Chain A
Amino acid sequence: QITLRESGPTRVKPTQTLTLTCTFSGFSLIFSGVGVGWIRQPPGKALEWLALIYWDDDKRYSPSLKSRLTITKDTSKNQVVLTMTNMDPVDTATYYCAHETVRTGAFDVWGQGTMVTVSA
């Protein structure tokens, strides 16, 4: 059974850097064809894909946020970490991590999400 759980601060100040951790079980990021992505959702708005890292350490980023994002993995801890620099109130959202397979391109298992508020 695949599970994912997001963790990190619930509140950050404008201009600060956000660091979120996705801890997963039921699969490993050492096996071919697997990826873990980050998706966010501002309150009352649509889903927005942010970044994804593959088993082979290939990394993909949203073009509009690429300059602010870094995604890394720690296969020994079964964790994926997303950092987002220069946070702004418009970045207030629920942040999700999710399991993805190259074969389908779909996010088939999601974490419960973590709400991050950006305010002074």
Chain B
Amino acid sequence: DIQMTQSPSSVSASVGDGVTITCRASQGISRWLAWYQQKPGKAPKLLIYAASSLQSGVPSRFSGSGSGTDFTLTISSLQPEDFATYYCQQANSLFTFGPGTKVDIK
């Protein structure tokens, strides 16, 4: 089974700050990596697929990078609506989600 880890588990930031979240796979997954945003009481929303492809309708301040085992999600300038929990997910071998990173207001 492929395990996913994320760091940090939580981060406090201010509007306008840049934030980077890291996701690591227990074995190489090429670029089979997606990122989701989830707000309380809501279903997750796809942000990035194939490690760096922006899902239609997602603001360009979100970007993804990486391949193999190490990936990052970057929010270039936090907006009020970006405070949420972010999950990575691998699809190289079955599917596995990471434990999540909560981005809250400093």
- A residues sitting closer than 8 Å to B (CB atoms) are 37, 39, 46-49, 52, 60, 62-64, 96, 98, 104-113
* Chain B residue nearest to A4 in the complex (CB): B43
Q: Which of A46, A63, A106 contacts B99 (CB 8 A)?
A: A46
- Bound-state CA distance A96–B100 (Å) is 17
Q: Which of A37, A47, A63 lies at the interface centre, i.e. has the most chain B CB atoms within 10 A of its CB? A: A47
B95 touches A37 (CB 8 A): yes
Q: Are B46 and A47 in contact (CB under 8 A)?
A: no
**Chain B residues within 8 Å of chain A by Cβ, number:** 24
Once A48-B97, A108-B46 are accepted as A-B contacts, the answer to whether A63 and B1 lie under 8 Å apart by CB is: yes
Counting from the closest, the 3 A-B pairs by CB-CB distance are A105-B91, A106-B34, A106-B49
Q: Smallest CB–CB gap between A102 and chain B, Å? A: 9
Assembled-state Cα–Cα distance A104/B87 (Å): 16
Kindly list chain A residues whose C-beta atoms are within 8 Å of the C-beta of B50.
104-106
A98 to B91, CA, bound (A): 14
A-B contact pairs, 30 of them (CB 8 A): A37-B95, A39-B97, A47-B89, A47-B100, A48-B97, A49-B94, A49-B96, A49-B97, A52-B95, A60-B95, A63-B1, A63-B94, A104-B50, A104-B53, A104-B91, A105-B49, A105-B95, A106-B34, A106-B50, A106-B91, A107-B34, A107-B36, A107-B44, A107-B46, A108-B46, A109-B46, A110-B44, A110-B45, A111-B43, A113-B43
Q: Does B68 sit within 8 A of A, measured CB to CB? A: no
Contacts of B97 in A (CB 8 A): 39, 46-49
By a CB distance below 8 angstroms, the chain B residues around A112 are 43
Residue in A39, A106, A111, A113 whose beta carbon sits within 8 Å of that of B46 in the complex: A106
Taking the closest CB of chain A, its distance from the CB of B55, in whole angstroms, is 7
Please measure, in the bound complex, the distance between the C-alpha atom of A18 and the C-alpha atom of B56, giving whole angstroms: 35
Query: How far is it, in angstroms, between the C-alpha of A60 and the C-alpha of B91 when the chains are bound?
Result: 12
A62 vs B95: C-alpha distance when bound (angstroms): 8
